[in-house]
Amino acid sequence: MDLQRIKQRFGIIGDSIGLNRSIDIAVQVAPTDLSVLITGESGVGKEVFPQIIHSFSARKHGTYIAVNCGAIPEGTIDSELFGHEKGSFTGAYESRKGYFEEANGGTIFLDEVAELPLSTQVRLLRVLETGEFLRVGSSKTIKTNVRVIAATNVDIHKAISENKFREDLFYRLNTVPVYIPPLRERKEDIHLLFRKFAVDFADRNRMPPISLNEDAIKILANYRWPGNIRQLKNITEQISVIETNRQIDGQTLRNYLPDYYEDKLPALYDGPIDQKTFNTERELLYKILFDMKNDVNDLKKLVHEIIQKGPVDEEIEENNARILKKLYHDDSALIEKDSFQKAAFDRLHDEENDRIQDTEEIIEESLSLEEKEKELIMKALAKHNGKRKYAAQELGISERTLYRKIKEYSLNED
């Protein structure tokens, strides 16, 4: 079956290279019984791919069960997956089959598999390796023939390093990895998805569909979409309900995109901060700055010593003059060699009493982020004659955020 027919069958919208590659891998691995691990951010549509794999496998007439591991309480997860015997725990009034027993001969999809407790991970590993498991409260081994497909949106390698996920289970599940790209890596698909969601919503609610002008399409493609397809669908439906004008421009669309910054500078790192790495890099930066300060002080001391020794040959005098010009950022011409000593002593007259001890002085500059932020807000307001709307656009923040910052820094009183 060709790619377009697969997309139509499973409702997949888009034609990006990454998406097509993921579908191709899913179709190729389907006829085998290999375990598959599907990874990708939340909201990218991972739940569709297990259905593709099951439908193109020899198990397509068997049972397909999708289990959200994160939605089942830890105390009952073993019972849900593997079943239990009557009286094995409080409330177990009768024996019950688990999902692995029910899906015998078919496929089981474990969504958010990284949320499984470590004890359950051990049981799952045994099923994958031997096809055997025990019901809760039973000592009788049960055989099952189930194809396991798992999915997660967390960093598995990080979970392994934090002892939250078993490394042996990861390698057993990750026989064939399928990566679903986030929406920001599928820019050419974003507008197609928007139109699809807009038309579907309009048909269900019997209203004209919304559309975007060129400016709005460009904004739609440049937004990062942290919630991916799920977020795009929600925003499309919000606009469809709220806006009376069915032609949406860029300014209207911005109102529905949280934290939209047109300039995209700087790009924010959205991963967790490693405090140890942060402290190490800060120490290295301090060391570089102090080394630079010491180099400048040593150079000044050298120049001072040369001056104290009296006249030297012409070439050395000219070099010294150039050194002084560089140290003090003199915008004038090079100091004439005949007046070199006089000019040098004029520069260093404050250092004569203490043998350049004051070269250790460091001109402190405020590095406070609050002060810099306050200064930028004041400049933006001054530039736009106090008009907050245009000042907020200049700063790349919302007008509400600007209003809060003005109150926070009491700028109305300045």
Domains of the chain: 3-181 (3.40.50.300), 185-254 (1.10.8.60), 275-360 (no CATH), 369-413 (1.10.10.60)
Least confident among 125-134, 151-160, 217-226, 342-351? 342-351
Residue 411 and residue 377 in contact, taking contact as beta carbons nearer than 8 Å: yes
pLDDT at 330: 46
Predicted confidence at residue 89, as pLDDT, reads 81
Cα dist from 217 to 17, 195, 229, 390, 400, whole Å: 20, 11, 16, 23, 25
- Give the residue, 338 or 129, on which the prediction is more confident: 129
Percent of the chain with pLDDT over 90: 56
CA gap 395, 265 in Å, rounded = 11
Query: What percent of the chain has pLDDT above 70?
Result: 76
Helices 314-328 and 340-347, packing angle to 10 deg: 30
Judge whether 237 and 201 are in contact, CB under 8 Å.
yes
Range 352-360 average pLDDT: 46
CA angle centred on 22, ends 21 and 27, rounded to 5°: 95
Q: Specify the pTM.
A: 0.62
